[in-house]
Chain A
Amino acid sequence: MLMGLFNDWVVILLMMIGLYIVIAHGNLIKKIIGLTIFQTSVFIFYISMANVEGATAPILADKVTLYSNPLPHVLILTAIVVGIATTALGLTLVVRIKEAYGSIEEQDIQHQDHLLSAEKEKGKQV
């Protein structure tokens, strides 16, 4: 049983590493990197599910009888491209945040937000 489920456990370990990077690090680019690791480990999970023992790639050929399952391949193909589209958009957001706030550490940004809201309240009272 251990060898049968080994792939799944390795993938879960990778996913947890990605999740940990997203939660525990304050730097925004590090968070995006953690998300990328998370995404790629989910792809590994799907593709390892699609594998059939003793089969070849799902391209029709004459002498082959057993093919790997093509449906997860299609899903992951879409997922990879969508993943990079969202990563690119996330990176541009980080660039703009850097221009607006001056830093990309989560705590600095929250600190500046607190200062801004405190000033606004003072302005309203006066």
Chain B
Amino acid sequence: MDIMVIILSGIPLLIGSFLCISGSIGILRFPDFYTRIHAVGVTDTLGTGLILLSLMLLSTDFLVIAKLVIILLLTLLTSPTTSHVLAKAAMYNGVKPVLKQS
């Protein structure tokens, strides 16, 4: 039973960490501002969610699980909004997306 819990919580942890790392690589490698925001917003939200999920499976105290659920909801709510606001501010200030590789 214990091994089962450890494996079940280790998989989301690994996937989540991999997603966060690939999001960071995406910031460095993508050509355009908007694609970079997209990379970070999507992968960081999902990566953080998976890491929190695995931590929830590992903990035994109900209060800790409740707090982790609240943190998960907060992250789900604020992280995409931040990407949206950044993209909107960039659009307003005239950063143009690269539409075709010339």
A and B touch in the complex (CB under 8 A): no
Query: A residues bordering B, Cβ < 8 Å?
Result: none
